């Protein structure tokens, strides 16, 4: 339970002068950078500096010269608004983050953006800022570490053995995702996950006891965590003792509840919301320097302080020791060593592409008409045995999402080496945990729910796209075609809004063949996530030539060409509506109309093609166009223009069998045929 700020000491704890001076370097850099930018959050870095000093100097296993070392500890700043804490730590310990970049905090093109962003700054393990998600990422990292250890460590050879440490604030714990992720972490017994709760009693609106009075220690104990309560976050010895206690508990994640004073050292803003999200002001910065006994100017760090913080020597030694162990491992288990390196580099097996292509060709030849969710499961059964890095899961819908395949082994506290996570009803938590698994490396995570419930997970999807992570989000029950569950479960606008997320690859396959291609492309994609959107209802197989088969990867292609000359009209369709559009195409062709049918399973990929290809599929001269999709119509206007039409749905659905709904809302061959003919008139 958070302690009211007025009940806290302004200078608590037994003070070790040397440690306090090292921590004050973090405070000084943090308040200087925020002041120079006139923007940022100095309070949390100043309050957590003593905790960070103990963790980073006494426990964190890392090498500033190689931020990507496989067996490093992972450190996550879930309360990412306190980014200057992390930037200060990275700079002081010796990462390639020069002082000039701290001076450019929050400026265009700097390595020090307002919140930590993966890929911008060496040593930043994940993008944080949306509160609670860093905590969920850390859970994913801990799952990945334990699963890799179970798979690759052998008697006498331990090559995977590291901790995941995460800092979090009140905001992280107020966000609902903290419940989802921490509940699962406790259930799985993630003993190498250690969290530090910055219990400073302050958020942007003021003292949190006005709206957040949870008994946090009891809450986490109920999750199955080991909890160290009421630790003085400004007493280095108390923090050290708490970390020691946490590291000894190996069958549960640990939460260390650190009571701190936000803006520690500021004479007039310490312990107040004024230090949370704004620069202290020049006078207050000067007064804070004096109170802390920090005798150096802005951004001035003496050599002795740098030497006290530097992790270069011990980091090089830690990695060198690991490399010796790995060389011994490679001598004893050469195939496993090669597999470990492949997995950590993110490469797929060399023969995987040929295997996947053979399966796609076989699926095309079989010509089976099945629901695309079934086609997805068939693809997993075919490709899964070739991909030991697959880490699957579903948000309590495995029997509906069909994400289980023959080689799945459930992950549990007793079986940490599984490859399938039963996430329970935790869509948001699942998605952010998958991001953490991907960030850790060694696995390609996929997880599933109904398309409608992508809404619960939306911000984690955005974060996956922002961080360019290879994560596969599987969504089934893709339209009103799911039927009787009704409008609460029938997605209308979700496809369009998923496609609007930059760097998100969204596939809506029309049959088993496109489903298999979608899986292959998602698994090979290394610069961002994919959404694979599958149907509940059966879809008709569409015949394709070998050449047409290759064009599926371009996102949109000619499925059926106009007969008797150049096309006078175009039909564009996706998913289950491709079958309906094909029926209309046949009727129109029989009536002597020259119509081209385009299947567009991935609009983003199609838009990324060169202009010549796009023109070859959707020639500008053909202005009579009809798009067909069981979703909102506005998205398709960019393809059909003002002279075209969209057969779609701009209202919520109804509860009824799928066939009745498609008839009621006009998703029929007759309506598509009618619409094309009306344009041709």
Residues in binding site: 41, 81, 129-131, 170-171, 200, 202, 276, 373, 400, 453, 477, 485, 489, 536
Around Cβ 294, how many Cβ atoms within 10 Å? Answer: 17
Rounded Cα distance, 530 and 496, in Å: 14
Please say whether the beta carbons of 48 and 82 come within 8 A. yes
Q: Which residues are annotated as a binding site for Mg(2+)?
A: 170, 200, 202
Rounded Cα distance, 97 and 90, in Å: 7
Please say whether the beta carbons of 646 and 640 come within 8 A. yes
Look at residue 499 and give its three-state secondary structure.
helix
| Backbone phi and psi for residue 503, each to the nearest 5 degrees, phi listed first | 70, 15
Look at residue 364 and give its three-state secondary structure.
helix
Chain-centre distance of CA 535, in angstroms?
24
**Tokens linked to 156:** 């006498």
Q: Is 427 a catalytic residue?
A: yes
Q: Which residues are annotated as a binding site for substrate?
A: 41, 276, 373, 400, 477, 485, 489, 536
Q: Which residues are annotated as a binding site for thiamine diphosphate?
A: 81, 129-131, 171, 200, 276, 453
Q: With 0-12 CB in 10 A as exposed, 13-18 as middle and 19+ as buried, what is 21?
A: middle
CA–CA distances in Å: residue 317 to residues 39, 243, 304, 375: 38, 23, 21, 50
Rounded Cα distance, 265 and 615, in Å: 64
- Pick the closest to residue 575 from 639, 638, 491, 650 (CA basis): 491
| Backbone phi and psi for residue 207, each to the nearest 5 degrees, phi listed first | -75, 120
Residue of 145, 389, 427, 568 with catalytic role:
427
Rounded Cα distance, 468 and 69, in Å: 20
Length of the chain: 681
Rounded Cα distance, 530 and 535, in Å: 16
Rounded Cα distance, 547 and 543, in Å: 12
Around Cβ 335, how many Cβ atoms within 10 Å? Answer: 8
The residues near 547 (Cβ < 8 Å, ≥ 6 apart) are none
Treating both helix axes as pointing N-terminal to C-terminal, what angle do 133-152 and 458-467 enclose, rounded to 10 degrees?
70
Active site residues: 427
């Amino acid at each position: 339970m958070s302690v009211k700020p007025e009940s806290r000491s302004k200078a608590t704890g037994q003070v070790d002068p040397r440690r306090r001076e090292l921590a004050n370097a973090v405070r000084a850099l943090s308040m200087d950078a925020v002041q120079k930018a006139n923007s940022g959050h100095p309070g949390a870095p100043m309050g957590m500096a003593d905790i960070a000093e103990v963790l980073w100097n006494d426990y964190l296993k890392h090498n500033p010269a190689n931020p990507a070392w496989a067996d490093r500890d992972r450190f996550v700043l879930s309360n990412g608004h306190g980014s200057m804490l992390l930037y200060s730590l990275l700079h002081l310990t010796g990462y390639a983050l020069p002082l000039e970049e701290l001076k450019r905090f929050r400026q265009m093109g700097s390595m020090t953006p307002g919140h930590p962003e993966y890929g911008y700054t060496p040593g930043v393990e994940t993008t944080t800022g949306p509160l609670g998600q860093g905590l969920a990422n850390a859970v994913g990292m801990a799952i990945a570490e334990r699963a890799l250890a179970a798979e690759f460590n052998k008697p006498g050879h331990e090559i995977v053995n590291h901790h995941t440490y995460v800092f979090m604030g009140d905001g992280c714990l107020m966000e609902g995702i903290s419940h989802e992720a921490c509940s699962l972490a406790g259930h799985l017994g993630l003993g190498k996950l250690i969290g530090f709760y910055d219990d400073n009693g302050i958020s942007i609106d003021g003292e949190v006891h006005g709206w957040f009075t949870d008994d946090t220690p009891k809450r986490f104990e109920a999750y199955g965590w080991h909890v160290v309560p009421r630790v003085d976050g400004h007493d280095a010895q108390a923090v050290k003792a708490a970390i020691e206690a946490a590291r000894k508990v190996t069958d549960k994640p640990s939460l260390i509840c650190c009571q701190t004073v936000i803006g520690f050292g500021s004479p007039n803003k310490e312990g107040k919301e004024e230090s949370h999200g704004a620069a202290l002001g020049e006078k207050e910065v000067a007064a804070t320097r004096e109170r802390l006994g920090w005798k150096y100017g802005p951004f001035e760090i003496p050599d002795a302080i740098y030497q006290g913080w530097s992790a270069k020597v011990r980091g090089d030694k830690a990695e060198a020791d690991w490399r010796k162990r790995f060389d011994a491992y490679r001598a004893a288990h050469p195939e496993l060593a090669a597999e470990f390196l492949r997995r950590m580099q993110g490469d797929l097996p060399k023969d995987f592409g040929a295997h996947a292509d053979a399966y796609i060709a076989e699926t095309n030849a079989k010509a089976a008409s099945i629901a695309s969710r079934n086609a997805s499961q068939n693809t997993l059964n075919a490709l899964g045995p070739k991909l030991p890095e697959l880490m699957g899961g579903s948000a309590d819908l495995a029997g509906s999402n069909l994400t289980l395949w023959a080689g799945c082994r459930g992950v549990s506290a007793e079986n940490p080496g599984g490859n399938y996570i039963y996430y329970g009803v935790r869509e948001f938590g699942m998605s952010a945990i998958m991001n953490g698994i991907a960030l850790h490396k060694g696995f390609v995570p996929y997880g599933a729910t109904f398309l409608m419930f992508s809404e619960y997970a939306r911000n984690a999807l955005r974060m996956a796209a922002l961080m360019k992570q290879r994560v596969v989000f599987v969504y089934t029950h893709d339209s009103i075609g799911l039927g009787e569950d009704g409008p609460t479960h029938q997605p209308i606008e979700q496809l369009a809004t998923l496609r609007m997320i930059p760097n998100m690859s969204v596939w809506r396959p029309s049959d088993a063949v496109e489903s298999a291609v979608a899986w292959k492309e998602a698994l090979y994609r290394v610069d961002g996530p994919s959404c694979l959107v599958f149907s509940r209802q059966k879809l008709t197989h569409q015949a394709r030539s070998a050449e047409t088969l290759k064009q599926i990867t371009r996102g949109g292609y000619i499925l059926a060409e106009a007969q008797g000359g150049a096309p006078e009209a175009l039909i564009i369709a996706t998913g289950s509506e491709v079958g309906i559009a094909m029926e209309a195409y046949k009727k129109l062709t029989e009536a002597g109309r020259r119509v081209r049918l385009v299947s567009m399973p991935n609009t983003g990929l199609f838009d990324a093609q060169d202009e010549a290809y796009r023109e070859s599929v959707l020639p500008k001269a053909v202005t009579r166009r009809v798009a067909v999709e069981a979703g909102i119509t506005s998205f398709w206007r960019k393809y059909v223009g003002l002279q075209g039409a969209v057969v779609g749905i701009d209202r919520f659905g109804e509860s009824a069998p799928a066939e009745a709904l498609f008839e009621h809302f006009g998703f029929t061959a007759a309506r598509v045929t009618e619409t094309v003919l009306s344009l041709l008139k």
